[in-house]
Structure 1
């Protein structure tokens, strides 16, 4: 067992140098989606390789058709762990909204204390370096980085990860581990850490209802002619009942109730639907009435309309019956819901309710992705939760996530392993926006947290 107290003391004594190292990485303009920054992306990857070598990792650049991967190994015995992060960042536009140049990092006073401001400060360079600094302190105290650890840093996460799946498939044996560690998540609040254990999947479709072969004059054809907007509205209204439940047959197959012990953790978080909805000018929860708002966000599936259009929508008025109307629908999935089954049920509802003279077309962007639930009864998850709780004022919670994190599903499907999703970002970190920031406390206590987690996992 490492001397954890000594590692934590080393992190504390090396804080200023750690900030300078993070600043060096933040100055690199590694915008992955813009080819103009190709050299900057490679520069960031090369910098990481050299930094990892300096603390005892065997590290290398791995070229892809796009931006390179960084892979590093520490060697040694113990549970095999894989840590994932990404060094690429989003574009900085609009530049005029930044209070300082986005690639010239600064420490400024924020609402909750000092914060690091720069593009990539929290997404994901700051989070990535939080972990690297814990490894650096480990090396300084023990003479080697944490044992049997693999690091995978991607350079295309912010541009759709086109090289990731081929890379994982081509390097399965090298990258397989007992458990993955993913840092691209956040805290519940500034004093309460969280481990994300539920991720919602998605099914999405654009559905178009068509009738006449052209737009029709509403005075001449209104009444006898089928109106695609009316047809669409009737079908959409049928998809939810008065309690907010989705009415598609089989929609809730595979949806399990949240375990009571997890609900008890969530209750301690002090979530307020009044505050949550009030922040966006709303007041009354509109989802399934039998479930709390937090459950609706994290643990329940949804079917939502993301865009509806038909007929004339410009300025003024044009009295037509449109030839077609369309809707964009997305379903967030949880548990063992089957994306293909849900898409089929959705399509069937439209076909069943379609009146004469109307046709329907479906445009599906992809095959859909299922929800993910991590095994919170795995002792390693509880060990990590306790380790986090030892560092922060409030006890850590197993939390849900309303969105999706594709890498977690890929680690399951390609490498056959679960992920501990631990991050130290905050809701107001303005990721992807001007004036992105990362709390200095998140950076420093986050590094201490990772040292504690690594020590806890090394007991296995």
Structure 2
């Protein structure tokens, strides 16, 4: 039986298995879901065994485990390493979901007329890494697996992959491969497939501003004692100027600037600004002056407040000057920016802005390095041919605004450029309420991954 026939004959099962995986609330950021994260790891291990892996194991770390599996059919053949993550973002705020985040439902949308799976983790990253397991199963069942394959599916990507570096460094021989596949990105559209060749890095900070030793009556003390919320807002707003340029001294010193030709090529990707604004229900876009929207999210660094709190936020009124105010701030970084260095620059600048009326605390939570991958490697050529085969159109190389720390780690430690082989869309509400992933995307992803193996073997032997 051909691989495509096996996929077609098992569509219902492939879909139902993914729905079962999505029902597991594997939220790595919240300790109350600890048992569920481990349950997801067990699910992945069992899926690899059922699909035909020679071995599949739970590799313990200081945090959540890494699931490793492999099928070596011939050591002389090329080896493909698949990376993904089974942990998911918190689903909060739950009240903004149209259906429970861990009770997947399939509904048609404008972007997904054949239906989309609404559930936390559907696009990021359960739906995407599970395509690789199903493609592997289809090739095994059809007797048509052309390359060796290894899987490394982790459970801490959404909290910074703190234990992944150690695992990779200690298991270089085990993870040795000729190409690495990662499906944790998106493409332009189903009509315009694309392959990501660049990712931004990240530095994630938390800040706390403290005034008096307790909450104070705003009438008795207002106007005489610093309000930490007011101070924090002033400090944050001063970190950007009127051109949305980040004001941290030294922040842009190592930013890799693209040539005019490179910028022009980047902007050749299909993009409708009016449609973009319409889908987001915004009147206008905003960002660093002098750059297009595509450039702002692909090649420029950013600074954004991800959460801010302090004082009284309950029902009714309570007139207090809060003792403390806090915020979580992320900075997306571009090639040549080091997240450790940027974190230090941020902390120094933030502390320097604080008036004597308050004290500040700065915590660098986690970060990751930016990465650019080659679009001329054998792996990229194989991915390009596979997408052209299944989509009927040559994919466009693009740069994406998200961060995947493992990419730079693989480049450094395994000396291999990963292929960022994503099949989601930027409208799939990743990290937001009502996250979803197209059913058609899921199945064409499975077909394309299987096609990649064939093309990669052929190109490797030339």
Structure 1-normalised TM-score? 0.79
Alignment partner of 2:49: what SS? helix
Q: Against the structure 1 CA distance between its residues 15 and 301, is the aligned structure 2 distance closer, same or farther, given a 3 Å change threshold?
A: same
Shift of 1:353: 3.5
From 59, 70, 73, give the equivalent of 1:72. Answer: 70
Residues 305 and 327 in structure 1, CA contact (< 8 A), matched pair in contact too: yes
Q: Does the 8 Å CA contact 1:86/1:154 hold for their aligned counterparts?
A: yes
Q: State the secondary structure of the residue aligned to 2:367.
A: coil
Residues 25 and 378 of structure 1: CA distance in aligned 2, closer, same or farther (over 3 Å):
closer
CA distance in structure 2 between the partners assigned to 1:229 and 1:435 by the alignment:
31
- Report the counterpart of residue 60 of structure 1 in structure 2: 56
- SS of residue paired to 2:114: strand
Q: Indicate the larger mover: 363-372 or 93-102.
A: 93-102
Aligned twin of 2:30: none
Structure 1 residues 148 and 311, CA gap change in structure 2 (3 angstroms):
closer
Unaligned 5+ runs, structure 2: 28-32
In the other structure, the counterpart of 1:200 is 200
Distance 1:410 1:47 in 2: 27
Q: Secondary structure at the match of 1:175?
A: coil
Tell me the residue number matched to 1:83: 82
* Aligned-pair CA distance for 1:296: 0.9
> In the superposition, relative to structure 1, how do residues 330 and 153 fare at CA in structure 2: closer, same or farther (>3 Å)?
closer
Per mean C-alpha deviation after superposition, the further-off stretch among 204-213 and 221-230 is 221-230
Whether the 8 Å CA contact 1:210–1:324 is kept in 2: the answer is yes
SS of 2:203's partner is strand
Q: CA deviation at 1:376?
A: 3.3
**Partner of 2:26 in structure 1?**
32
CA distance in 2 between counterparts of 1:92 and 1:322 reads 28
Instruction: Give the Cα separation in 1 of the matches to 2:160 and 2:26.
Output: 10
Q: Distance in 2 between matches of 1:392 and 1:164?
A: 34
The alpha-carbon distance between structure 1 residues 296 and 15, as it changes in their structure 2 partners (threshold 3 A), is: same
Give the C-alpha shift of residue 263 in structure 1: 4.0
Cα distance between partner residues in 2 of 1:261 and 1:122:
33
Distance 1:350 1:26, change over 3 A: closer
2:208 and 2:326 in contact (8 A); partners too: yes
Partner of 1:408: 407
Contact 2:116 2:437 in 1 (8 A): yes
SS at match of 1:345: helix
Q: Aligned to 2:177, what secondary structure does the other structure show?
A: coil
Are the structure 2 counterparts of residues 127 and 217 from structure 1 closer, same or farther at C-alpha, using a change threshold of 3 Å?
Answer: closer
Q: Contact 2:195/2:397 (CA < 8 Å) preserved in 1? A: yes
Answer yes or no: is 1:443 the counterpart of 2:442: yes
**Larger mean Cα displacement after TM superposition, 430-439 or 164-173:** 430-439
Structure 1 residues 366 and 417: CA distance shift in structure 2, 3 A: farther
The structure with the largest alpha-carbon Rg is: 1
Deviation of residue 335 (structure 1)? 1.0
RMSD of the TM alignment (CA)?
Answer: 4.0
**Residue 426 (structure 1) shift:** 3.0
Partner of 1:269: 269
Check the 8 A contact 1:73/1:151 in 2, yes or no.
no
Q: CA deviation at 1:292?
A: 0.5
Q: Helix, strand or coil: the match of 1:236?
A: helix
2:16 corresponds to: 23
Matched position secondary structure for 1:11: helix
- Give the distance between the partners of 1:82 and 1:97, measured in 2 at CA: 37
* Higher deviation after alignment, 273-282 or 184-193: 273-282
Q: Which moved more, 1:83-92 or 1:57-66?
A: 83-92
Find the residue that maps to 2:150 and give its secondary structure: strand
SS in 1 for 2:303: strand
| CA contact 1:82–1:180 (8 Å) conserved in 2 | yes
* Partner of residue 4, structure 1: none
Provide, for residues 125-177 of structure 1, a one-character-per-residue CA deviation record: whole Å limited to 9, x for no partner. 54344334444554566x45222332234466568767645543442211122
The runs of 5 or more residues in structure 1 that have no matched partner are: 1-6
Aligned: 1:130 with 2:131 = yes
Distance change (3 Å), C-alpha of 1:157 and 1:52 = farther
Given that 2:80 and 2:150 are in contact with CA atoms closer than 8 Å, whether structure 1 keeps it comes out as: yes
Alignment correspondent of 1:44: 43
Give 1:334 deviation, angstroms. Answer: 1.3
Determine the C-alpha separation between the residues in 1 that align with 2:39 and 2:153.
Answer: 15
Q: Distance in 2 between matches of 1:40 and 1:436?
A: 21
Residues 203 and 330 of structure 1 are in contact (CA less than 8 Å); yes or no, is this contact kept in structure 2?
yes
Alignment-derived partner of residue 257 in structure 1: 257
Q: Describe the shift of the 1:331–1:25 C-alpha distance in structure 2 as closer, same or farther (beyond 3 A).
A: closer
Cα separation, partners in 2 of 1:213 and 1:39, compared to 1, 3 Å: closer
Using the alignment, how far apart are the partners of 1:215 and 1:435 within structure 2?
A: 37
Structure 2 distance, partners of 1:333, 1:88, is 23
Contact 1:228 1:325 in 2 (8 A): yes
For residues 336 and 423 of structure 2, the distance between their equivalents in structure 1, rounded to whole angstroms, comes to 28
Please say if residues 378 and 456 of structure 2, whose CA atoms lie closer than 8 Å, have aligned partners that are also in contact: no
